[in-house]
Amino acid sequence: MKHTAALPSGFRALLLAGGFCALLAAGTAFANANTQSLGVFGDWKAHSFQDATGKVCFMTSEPQKTEANVKGVNRGKIAFFVTHWAGDKTKNVISVSMGYPLKEGTPVTVTVDGKTYALASNLSNKAEEAEMAWAPDQATDDALAAAVQKGSRLVIKGTSRRGTLTTDTYSLKGTGAAYKAINDDCGF
């Protein structure tokens, strides 16, 4: 998949379909009435659904620990995603929902067992995308997808528009099995 200054193609399609903006409270699944669970694997969940282009499969988790440099920070849904779109043969799209609008010009960093990757944010002027960050290219998507499967801990740092720095720590227990489930369901 070729990444540009616009959103990755799968997210564009998903947003146009009206499925992404709200995360389901219990499962951090994309808000889509047809979302099906593929299972719970350790600290990760795998899901799939149909959109206009075909089957979409994704694995997701929420942080086990969140910290902020300001007390009493109120955040929305926080989640990390690895997504495949079978219809356009796109896989390993990495994204994160930070639970607040991100400060422009400030990258979101993802560190897996000591190796750090920068994610791009503010890729459009749409309010519903202000809380999201994505890997900037397919090479980063693929490297992060591999690291997540082999690693033990993932740490994401971001800065809100108000200047609040947050650190979210995720367990990677179950990522290998969750990744296999989305690969199998989307035919990769």
Least confident of 20-24, 113-117, 159-163, 182-186: 20-24
Burial class (CB in 10 A: 0-12, 13-18, 19+), 124: middle
pTM here is 0.84
Query: pLDDT of 13-58, one tens digit each?
Result: 344 333 333 333 323 445 456 899 999 999 999 999 998 889 999 9
Arithmetic mean of pLDDT, 130-146: 95
- CATH 2.60.40.1880 is right for the domain spanning 9-186: yes
User: 137 with 120: CB under 8 angstroms?
Assistant: no
> Which among 184, 155, 144, 174 has a CA at the least distance from the CA of 44?
174
> Which among 50, 44, 60 has a CA at the least distance from the CA of 14?
50
